[in-house]
Amino acid sequence: MRATGLTPDRRLVLSLWGGLALLYCIAAGVANADAEVPGGYWQRLERTAHHALMQEVAAAGGKTTPFTTDGCSGGLSAIWRQLSGKSGADGGPPFEVCCIAHDRKYHNAAGIGGADPAVSDEVELAATSQRARLAADQALRRCVETNLSAKDPTIANLASPVAAAIYAAVRFGGAPCSGLSWRWGYGYRPCRGNSTR
C-alpha cells in the first residue's frame, strides 16, 4: 500500500466527499430540470413509473405499511454518526430533520392516489405524483441548505453545494418503482415487474 500521509479517518472523509461530488456530477443532468413537470426522456420514463406506482396505490386502497426512516438515505446518516462518534439524534447530520420530513412524503407518495379521491384519472394521478415528488425534492434541497447554514456557521459556505448534491441524489435515485428501499412510494409494495400490466 502506498503511503499517503493521511490518517484512515481523513481518507474516509475525503473519499466520501469525492463520492458525493461524483454523484452530483452524474445526477446533475437529471436534477437540472426544475420545471413543473419537465418533458424530456427521463421525465417520460419516470411518468411510466409513477403510473405503475399509482396502480399499486389503488390496489392497496391508499393504505401504506407503517412509516420507517433511516434518516438521510444512502447511508449518509449512518456514516455521519460514525464520523462524529455520536449516536442517536445528536450524531446525525445537522439537516437530518429535513431528510425525515422528506421520507414522510416519499413513504406514502405524498398521499397521492388512493387517499386523494378528487383525482381519479390514471394519467392525471401519475402527473400529480410526479409533481409532488419534484416538490418534495425541492423542499428537501431548501431545508438542507437552510439547516446546514444555520446550525454550523463554520461550514455554511458548503451548504449550497451539499444541498445541491443531496437534491441530485434524490432526483436520480428516488424514482418510483426502482426497487430501492428509499424510492418514492416506498410505503407501498414494490411495483410489479411490468408497469403496463
pTM confidence score: 0.76
Q: For residues 177 and 195, is the Cβ–Cβ distance under 8 A?
A: yes
Displacement of CA 190 from its chain's centroid (Å): 17
Displacement of CA 142 from its chain's centroid (Å): 13
Torsion of the alpha carbons at 165, 167, 169 and 175, rounded to the nearest 10: -170
Tens of pLDDT along 43-77?
778 888 999 999 899 889 889 999 999 999 888 88
In sequence order, what DSSP letters do the residues of 140-192 get, joined into one string? HHHHHHHHHHHH-GGGGGGHHHHHHHHHHHHHHH--TTS--TTSTTTTSPPPP
Tens of pLDDT along 111-164?
886 545 455 677 888 889 999 999 999 999 999 999 888 876 777 888 899 899
Helices (H), 69-121: 76-84, 96-107
Percent of the chain topping pLDDT 90: 36
pLDDT at 30: 45
Choice between 63 and 34, residue whose per-residue pLDDT is larger: 63
